[in-house]
Each structure stands twice: as structure tokens, then as C-alpha cells.
């Protein structure tokens, strides 16, 4: 489809291969009021904010969607919703909690139709609460419109301010609702044109699955920061944040939705591809390979599990240590630890055992309960640890409080030495594209060098994989300085889009 006449330019950096801003201190606009709801007592873990799933052309669309969302539960455990189209009207069910808590057979029977989409979320923009649970739905002049969004609109506050001044009334505090209002107020004739016009006004990272009376639309932001893939089950077309959702429902993977592509599917099964955003250089999020995606997913043609093992191998080459055993911090550190052990020749052992039956720590009452969260989730395997020089492998260090507690646990279990190795570069900058990160002033790597961080967590040594080592692990010879192959802003500060809300607020991240 040709670019719409009179549309605004894409909200990416003037040179899409260069950093839009040089940011060095302060907080970022992770919600409409520039505050950020941390998900646990310490805010000491990076989290992908959402997962999306959609299917069109299947008589049991809601059931398929529920199964797909279950496989994406790791991408959001705060709330879940499913919206379906019965052929005559849209119906929704949304709730706080996990998929299995919100949806049972009786609930799914109230969601008939051959088209459905769903969403699992942690809250980033707008905070928690049932009114922000997606998919969001609106009756527009052009018909019903449902939207499920993974990512973050980094100029949502600015757009919302303009829309409210023009008379828009918002029902949620989610940045996603801004897209609905932009669609509703667009002067273009068709719903597809209105949708494209709206997307031309937004900044940031997004993967969207939208439903209308005419079918389904799925799209990624022009740089492909957030992931989205397309598959087929029987005669039905499915979309999901990760390929693992296709494995669970028995669907065949077709391909990734390309950066900047909008795929339209009607009820006859006709697939149309639109590319209304030009051809900027893609910048998919590299942290999907480090931590966010499930290890059994394939991201951009790369096995996530194999990539994480390779990161561990690169880490072993770059930062060896004299030790007796390699121990992962479960579960996220396991593949990298296997790779480190294989490359170094040091035995891999499960020196930390994780309980899978611990509730989310942020809802536990009282400081004592929250502060004991690490011990309730993880316990040292003393028979493996005692008297040993150990190498601990984890995916990242955010605030450092969890790493400190894990190191302390190893020492209490009798470890002779504790060397920590991290399967990502230092996280020095906040993310504005749909990842739950603290403000920069609370990121340990933004305040300290590596030796100071090692002293803070009380490790005998600490090392991170280099940025080039990370790129090698995902199949690139090194990070291209002029035009990086991935969005790695959390490590480098090289933000690939404009950050209008952030600049307007006068903050620096």
C-alpha cells in the first residue's frame, strides 16, 4: 500500500542508524505520569512487559488463544484478557492473574467465534488495574476495533495531551488507548488507512494485533524492536510474540512479521502485506535473546537456547576464572552456564535449587517476608557448594540486590570463592520500548564500574560479556558502530527512536 498522503514522518531518529539522544542520568517515562510500578520488593529484574496472540479462521478461536497465551505466560503474569468476534459482535473477558486463574472452560464457552486475540501483561505505561487489561476495545464510526499491544509508546503522554484538548475522553491510563483515539479521529476513509495514519504518529516499540469487523491486522514497529511471528493451524492464521506459542497449539511457523510490516487477514483467509513505513534498518531487541524469550523459541531464525549457550561460551573465552564448578542462577542462567562449562571444561552443577511454588514476592505482607524472597525462591545445594571455588552465571544485574543475596547464600553454604559472570553487558540505561527497568539512577552499572560492583555484591570477581561478544553469540561478527543490528540501548544508551515524552519532561535517562 502506498504511504498515505499528508501523513507525519516516522517517529524514528533522523538517521535510523544513529542514537537519537545522548542520555546520561535520571528517569524515563515508563508511564503517563513518568513513574514506574516496580514488580517486586527490589525491582531487581528486567521484565518483558507483554505477550500477544491472535487467531483468525478457527471455530474454537478463544480456546486456541487461551492455550497460546499460556505458553506466553512468562511475558506477563499480572493480567490476561481475550476478545473474540462472534461474526456479529465482539465479546471480551479480562482479569487479574494468570491465564489458568482467569479462564476456564465455562468462561471460554462465552467467547464464541472464529477470530480471537489475547494479551498477557505486566503493567508498564499506566500501571496496573482492570481498566488497563488488554485487549482494549472501542466502537468506532467505522465499526468495532480491538487492540492488543506489546511494547511502549514513548510519546503517548504528548499525544494524549493533544487528544484530550481536542475532546477525547480516555477510559484507561494505558498508552495503548492512545492508538485507539488516533484511529478514531483520523480523517482517512477506511479503517486500514486510519490505523496506518495513527501508527505514523507514534514513537517507540510495538507489536500489535488488532481485530475489526473485516478481519485481523498484525504489525510491528518500523524498527522491529518488539517481536511478532505468523503461523498456520489448519486453515487458520495465527500471530504470536514467540514461536513457542505455535509449538503448544500445533501450528506451523510461516515467518516473522517483518519490521514495519502490517499483515491483514480477512475471513476468507486472504493475506495482504502492507509496508507503509519505508525501509529503515531493523533494530530488534537483543535482550530477547538474553532473557525475555522462552529458551525453546526461535527468534529471527536463531534458537534462543543455542544463543544463550553461545553467550556462555563467549563469556568463558572473555572472562575465565580458576574454579571447581560452574553454577547457574536458575532458571534464566542455565543455558549460559552450560555454555560456559562446555567452553571452559569446568563441571556444570546445580548448586542452587529453585522452588517453583513460591508466590510473587511483591504481594507478600511485611518487610521480613519480602526480604526473605531470595531464600524462599532459591536454596543452596550445600553438597555441591561447600569448599568449592564456584562460578555463578546469571543473565543480568539490575540493582544488584538479588546478586548480593545469592553471593551471600553461596558463602553461607561454604563456598571457598565466588566468581560472578553475567551473560549480558552491564545494564546502564533505562528502556523506553516496553521493558520493565528502574530509572537509571537505580541501575547499579550506571553508578559503579565493574570492580565497585563486585565489591558491592561481595563477589571475589565479576565480569560481563562484552557487547561484541553478545553480538557474536547471536551470529554477528561484532556490533556495527554506525548502524547496529539490534536495539541494545539498555547497554549502550544508543536509542534508535525519538523519545518525545522524555525530552518534554526535561528528564535525562
Q: Tell me the catalytic residues.
A: 50
Q: How far apart are CA 218 and CA 210, in angstroms?
A: 6
Instruction: Tell me the Ramachandran region of residue 215: left when phi exceeds 0, alpha when psi lies from -120 to 50, beta otherwise.
Output: left
Question: How do the residues of the chain divide into helix, strand and coil, expressed in percent and rounded to 5?
Answer: 30, 25, 45
Q: How far apart are CA 454 and CA 460, in angstroms?
A: 7
Helices of type H across 174-324: 176-185, 191-199, 244-249, 287, 304-318
Neighbours of 140 (CB within 10 A): 16
Residue of 275, 273, 262, 266 whose CA lies nearest to 220: 262
Residue of 387, 382, 427 whose CA lies nearest to 403: 427
- 28-46 core/surface letters (b: 16 or more CB in 10 A; e: else): bbbbbebebbbbbbbbbbb
Under 8 Å between Cβ of 464 and 316: no
CA angle (81 as vertex; 103, 273 as ends), nearest 5? 125
Residue of 112, 102, 160 whose CA lies nearest to 134: 102
List CB contacts of 57: < 8 A, sequence separation 6 or more.
Answer: 114, 115, 234, 235, 236, 237, 265, 267, 269
Q: How far apart are CA 412 and CA 466, in angstroms?
A: 30
Whole-angstrom CA distances from 385 to 378, 389, 457 are 14, 8, 18
Going by their DSSP bridges, the two strands 229-233 and 236-240 should be labelled as antiparallel
- By the 10 Å C-beta count (0-12 exposed, 13-18 middle, 19+ buried), 275 is classed as middle
Under 8 Å between Cβ of 422 and 469: no
Amino acid at each position: 500500500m502506498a504511504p498515505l498522503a499528508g501523513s507525519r514522518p516516522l517517529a524514528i531518529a533522523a538517521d535510523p542508524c544513529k542514537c537519537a539522544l545522548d542520555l546520561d542520568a535520571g528517569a524515563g517515562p515508563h508511564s503517563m505520569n513518568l513513574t514506574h510500578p516496580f514488580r517486586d520488593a527490589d525491582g531487581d529484574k528486567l521484565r518483558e512487559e507483554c505477550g500477544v496472540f491472535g487467531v483468525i479462521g478457527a471455530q474454537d478461536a478463544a480456546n486456541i488463544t487461551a492455550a497460546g497465551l499460556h505458553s506466553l505466560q512468562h511475558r506477563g503474569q499480572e493480567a490476561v484478557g481475550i476478545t473474540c468476534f462472534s461474526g456479529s459482535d465482539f465479546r471480551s473477558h479480562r482479569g487479574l492473574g494468570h491465564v489458568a486463574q482467569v479462564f476456564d472452560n465455562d468462561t471460554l464457552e462465552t467467547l464464541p467465534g472464529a477470530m480471537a486475540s489475547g494479551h498477557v501483561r505486566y503493567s508498564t505505561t499506566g500501571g496496573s488495574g482492570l481498566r488497563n487489561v488488554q485487549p482494549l476495545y472501542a466502537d468506532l464510526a467505522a465499526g468495532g476495533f480491538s487492540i492488543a499491544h506489546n511494547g511502549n509508546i514513548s510519546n503517548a503522554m504528548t499525544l494524549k495531551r493533544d487528544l484530550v484538548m481536542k475532546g477525547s475522553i480516555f477510559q484507561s491510563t494505558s498508552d495503548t488507548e492512545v492508538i485507539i483515539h488516533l484511529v478514531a479521529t483520523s480523517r482517512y476513509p477506511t479503517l486500514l488507512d486510519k490505523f496506518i495514519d495513527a501508527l505514523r504518529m507514534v514513537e517507540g516499540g510495538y507489536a500489535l494485533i488488532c481485530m475489526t469487523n473485516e478481519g485481523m491486522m498484525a504489525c510491528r514497529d518500523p524498527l522491529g524492536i518488539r517481536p511478532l511471528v505468523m503461523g498456520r493451524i489448519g486453515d487458520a492464521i495465527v500471530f504470536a510474540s514467540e514461536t513457542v506459542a505455535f509449538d503448544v497449539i500445533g501450528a506451523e511457523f510461516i515467518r516473522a512479521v517483518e519490521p514495519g510490516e502490517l499483515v491483514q487477514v480477512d475471513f476468507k483467509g486472504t493475506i495482504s502485506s502492507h509496508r507503509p513505513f519505508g525501509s529503515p534498518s531493523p533494530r530488534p531487541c537483543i535482550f530477547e535473546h538474553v532473557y525475555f524469550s522462552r529458551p525453546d523459541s526461535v527468534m529471527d531464525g536463531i534458537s534462543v537456547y543455542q544463543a544463550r549457550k553461545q553467550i556462555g561460551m563467549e563469556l568463558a573465552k572473555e572472562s575465565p576464572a580458576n574454579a571447581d564448578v560452574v553454577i547457574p542462577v536458575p532458571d534464566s542462567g542455565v543455558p549460559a552456564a552450560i555454555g560456559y562449562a562446555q567452553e571452559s571444561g569446568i563441571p556444570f552443577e546445580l548448586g542452587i535449587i529453585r522452588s517453583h511454588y513460591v508466590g510473587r514476592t511483591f504481594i507478600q505482607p511485611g518487610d521480613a517476608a519480602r526480604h526473605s524472597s531470595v531464600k524462599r525462591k532459591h536454596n543452596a545445594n550445600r553438597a555441591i557448594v561447600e569448599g568449592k571455588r564456584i562460578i555463578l552465571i546469571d543473565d543480568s544485574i539490575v540493582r544488584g540486590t538479588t546478586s548480593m543475596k545469592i553471593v551471600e547464600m553461596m558463602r553461607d553454604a561454604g563456598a571457598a570463592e565466588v566468581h560472578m559472570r553475567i551473560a549480558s553487558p552491564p545494564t546502564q540505561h533505562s528502556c523506553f520500548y516496553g521493558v520493565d527497568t528502574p530509572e537509571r539512577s537505580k541501575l547499579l552499572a550506571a553508578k559503579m564500574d565493574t570492580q565497585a560492583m563486585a565489591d558491592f555484591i561481595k563477589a571475589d570477581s565479576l565480569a560481563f560479556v562484552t557487547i561484541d561478544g553478545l553480538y557474536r553469540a547471536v551470529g554477528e561478527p561484532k556490533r556495527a558502530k554506525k548502524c547496529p543490528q539490534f536495539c541494545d540501548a539498555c547497554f549502550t544508551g544508543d536509542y534508535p527512536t525519538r523519545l518525545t515524552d522524555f525530552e518534554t519532561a526535561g528528564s535525562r535517562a
